[in-house]
Amino acid sequence: MSTHFDKTFRADPRFARKRVAGLTWFGIALILAGFVCIVFTAQNFIPLAEWAREGGEDSALVRNRMAGITPLVMIAIELVGIAWGVYLLIVGARPWHVAATGTRLRKRYYGFHLSDQTFSHEAHRRFATGDPSVFAPFPHQVDGGQTVVMIWTADADQTAFVGISWDQNRRRTHNLPLISHTGPRYQALDAALRNKLYKPLPDEHNPLLRPGTRPAD
């Protein structure tokens, strides 16, 4: 899936796109089904128009409009299916993976927050600690927010990545350095995500507060 951080991932040797067979075949099936349906609709345009007219309301005007619009709507839906299939083949079926292990990145959070650039740097500082007692509770999302926060996990690798971007008027995007957490900090971030970021994580659920688990800064 395309994200604000595709450019960051492409420039980082830790990540690579890898094709997923299931999504690839699904995309191919969508494209083929779309073309078959378009051919069927085109070849049966008049019968479909008559069927729509017969199923219309009593008004002759409504029946005529239904007759002309229904086949076109069907073709439009079929074109959308083809477009979605093409998207899957080009982007969706090639999600980002950890290059060294082949573990697929799982998107866990995607939010738009306050528009102040200072907020984006403060959010980066808080998430960089890896400590939920510092970054949670995190503010709720806001409409029109220009600070983008995305979190991915590679669960099999016990690794999490946090991306924070300041998107000025949706034209100039500035990505801050990607944050990565492993071990207890991964577990702490995972626990905070499960608990919802906008809520404080109880101390007993924070792995960093357990004796002997807090890593050295």
In a domain, 217, yes or no: no
Do 85 and 55 share a structural domain?
A: yes
Domain-embedded: residue 3: no
Cβ-contact 159, 186 below 8 angstroms:
yes
**Listed residues 92, 113, 136: the one ending a domain:** 92
pLDDT of 63 = 46
Given 69, 92, 115, which residue is the final one in a domain?
92
Pair (75, 142) in one structural domain? no
Residue 175 CB partners (closer than 8 Å, separation 6+)? 4, 5, 7, 8, 163, 164, 165
Same-domain pairing of 73 and 158: no
Number of domains into which the chain is organized: 2
Is 174 a domain residue? yes
Rounded to two decimals, what is the model's pTM?
0.72
Q: 41, 59, 92: which is the final residue of a domain?
A: 92
Range of the domain at 131: 103-209
pLDDT tens, residue by residue, 4-59 = 788 899 999 999 998 877 877 888 888 899 889 888 888 887 776 676 666 555 44
The model's pLDDT over 186-206, given as tens digits with 9 standing for 90+, comes to 999 999 999 999 999 999 999
Evaluate the omega torsion of the peptide bond into residue 137 and state whether it is cis, within 30 degrees of 0. Answer: yes
67 shares a domain with 46: yes
